Amino acid sequence: MIKLMGGYGQMNGKQKISLGLSAALLLSVVTACSKNDPPPPAANGANDTGPIKLLYTKGGFEKAPDGNPIKDAIEKGSGVKFDMVSPPSANYADQVPVILASNDKPDVAVMPTSQAVFDYAKQGALLDLKPYLKLMPDVEKSVPKEALDYFTVDGKLWAIPIWTSPYRYNFVMRGDWLKKLNLQVPKTLDELHNVLVAFTEKDPDGNGVKDTYGFSGLGLDSLDGIFGAFGVVAGDAPWVTPTKASVYFTEQNGKLIPQTTRPEAKEALTVLAKWYQEGLIDPEMFTQTSAVRDEKFVKNRYGVSANWWTWESNQEVTMKKSDPNVQLLRIAPPIGPRGESGMRGTPLVARGVVVLGNTKHPEAAAKFMNYFNSDEGGMNTYTGIEGIQWEKKDGKIYTTPQFDKDSKWIQWYSLFENEAPLLKVETYAVQSRRDAFNWKVIKNAADLMNTQAELKYSADLRGLTADYYARFITGKTPLSDFDKYVQEFNKRGGQEWTDEVNKIYQERKAKK
C-alpha cells in the first residue's frame, strides 16, 4: 500500500539542521526502500488503482469526517482508492523519519522540508519520478518549470514541488477608524505616520480611554510594509513557525548580499525607533503570542498591522459580531523616501512530495498526485464539491451554507498549494487573497539556492536578527551599534552563507 505523508504550516526545515535524518533511521529507510534499478512505468500503469494509504496531516484543519464527499471525489477523479492516517501536526517533522524507518513504511511522503528530499534522494531511498511524468500531465501543466528543476538532480526528479506564488501578505488597517477620524488612506510613510498618531492619540474606539496603539502585531513579520518602504525584508520573530526564508538576499553590483545587514535596513529601524519612542507601536509586539495579538485586535487595542492573507478576514468576522460597523482595509504598503514599497514575497517552493523506492504502486501514486494538480482536483480539495459546498451562478462560484459548516475540515485533503481554483470563489476571504496580488513584493534573490551554511546557521541568524532588531526599535540598544550587529551576523555564519550563495549565483549566471 502507498502512504502519503505531509503537513503544512509546520516548519521550513532548511532552517533547522536538526531535522536531518539520523544515520540509524536513514539506514533503515534506505535498506527497505531503495531499488538498484527501478522498473519503468508499466504498460498498463494507467489501470493501477492502488489501493493506497495516505499518511498526511493538513495543519490548521480538523480531521475530515468519515464518508465525506471530498474523499469520494478524489477517488473517483484520480481512479485511485486511498485511506488516510494523520499524525499530530505539532510534531509532524519529528515523526517523518521515525515513520519512514518503521515496519509500516509509507510509499509516498510530503517531506517536512525541501532539504529532506535531497537527503533521502542522496541515500537512494526515493523513486525517480521523471519516467512517470507522462502519467502526470496536470503536474507539467500547472507546476512552474523552475520548481520542477529545483528537485531535479542529474536528470532525476525526486519530488513533485509544493509551490506557491509570492503574493501572500497584506497590509491591514481599520477603515472604520479612518472614517471616524476623517482621515484618508495613507500612501506614503509620512502619511502612515500621521494615521498612527491619530489612532494612538484621538481615541478611535470612542471609549474615552487612551488605550490604543497605532501599530502592533507579531514581531518583525508585522513590520514588513515598513521595511519594504526601504526595499528590504527584515526577518521574522524567532518563536513564529517559519514558513519562509529566514534571511533574504538582494543583488547589488553583481553580488548577493543579506538584506538585513544593508544600510537601508538601518534607515527603516531608525524610523521605527522614532515611532516607538512616540508611543505609536505596541511595546508588547515583540514578545506577545499570536493569541494575544488577535485578542488585542478584536478588542480595539491597535489599528494597523500586516499579516498572512487569511488573518484579517478571520478577525473581521469575529469583530463584526460585536460591532457591525467594523471595516478592515487591505491597502498598498507605504511608499518610502526613494519611492520603494513592498511586502515580502514567499519562496517559490515550500516542500516536495516524494515516492519511496519500494512502492508497489508507482503508477497509482503518479495518478494520485496528478489529480491534486488538476483544476478539478484543486477545486474539490480546496473548496469542496459542486452542489454541496459551492455552486455556480451567472458564471461565478459561490460557497453554500454547507461550506461554512464544513470550513474547519474542508481543506483536509489539499495536498498541494494549488491556489488557482480558490481564487475563482466569491468570498470575503478569497478577496483578501486576490488583493495580495496587487502589492509589490520583495523577493529573495537566493531563493532555490540550497547551501550547507543555511542549514548550519539560519536558525541562529534568524534569532540574532530578531533580537537585535527588537532592541534597536525599543531603544534598548542604540542604532549606533548596527555595525556590531552586522559584524556578529557575519561572524556567526552570515559571511559563509553569503559566500556560498554567491558561488551558486555566479555559476548560474555563467550558464546563461
**Backbone φ, ψ for residue 135 (5° rounding):** -90, 0
Q: For residue 163, is pLDDT > 70?
A: yes
CB 18 within 8 A of CB 70: no
Summarised one tens digit per residue, pLDDT across range 216-227 is 999 898 999 999
Top-tier CATH class for 13-164+350-423? alpha beta
Q: Which three cell numbers stand for residue 387?
A: 452542489
Q: What is the pLDDT of residue 8?
A: 32
d(CA 224, CA 243): 15
Fold identical between 13-164+350-423 and 169-344+445-511?
A: yes
Q: What is the pLDDT of residue 421?
A: 72
Q: What is the pLDDT of residue 354?
A: 93
Q: Which of residues 157 and 235 earns the better pLDDT score?
A: 157
Confidence band for 238, pLDDT divided at 50, 70 and 90: very low
Q: For residue 6, is pLDDT > 50?
A: no
Q: For residue 268, is pLDDT > 80?
A: yes
Please give the mean pLDDT across all residues of the chain: 88
Q: What is the pLDDT of residue 221?
A: 85
Domain boundaries defined on the chain: 13-164+350-423, 169-344+445-511
Q: Which residues contact residue 467 at a Cβ distance below 8 angstroms, ignoring those fewer than 6 apart?
A: 238
From 141-145, 195-199, 471-475, the region with the lowest mean pLDDT? 141-145
- Please enumerate, as own/partner, the contacts of 293-302 that have beta carbons within 8 Å and a separation of 24 or more: 293/216, 293/217, 293/218, 296/216, 297/216, 300/204, 300/205, 300/207, 300/212, 301/211, 301/212, 301/213, 301/216, 302/199, 302/212, 302/213, 302/214, 302/215, 302/216
Instruction: Assign 27 to helix, strand or coil.
Output: helix
Summarised one tens digit per residue, pLDDT across range 438-470 is 899 999 999 999 899 998 998 899 999 999 999
Greatest Cα-to-Cα distance within the chain, rounded to the nearest angstrom:
76
Q: What is the pLDDT of residue 470?
A: 95
How far apart, in Å, are the Cα atoms of 338 and each of 81, 184, 258, 315?
57, 22, 20, 33
Task: Say what percent of the chain tops pLDDT 70.
Answer: 88
pTM for this entry: 0.83
Instruction: Assign 130 to helix, strand or coil.
Output: helix
Summarised one tens digit per residue, pLDDT across range 348-384 is 998 899 999 988 899 999 999 999 999 999 999 988 9
Q: Please name the CATH architecture into which domain 169-344+445-511 falls.
A: 3-Layer(aba) Sandwich (3.40)
Query: DSSP letter string over 373-419?
Result: TSHHHHHHHHH--BTTTEEEETTEEEE-HHHHHHTTTTTTT--S---
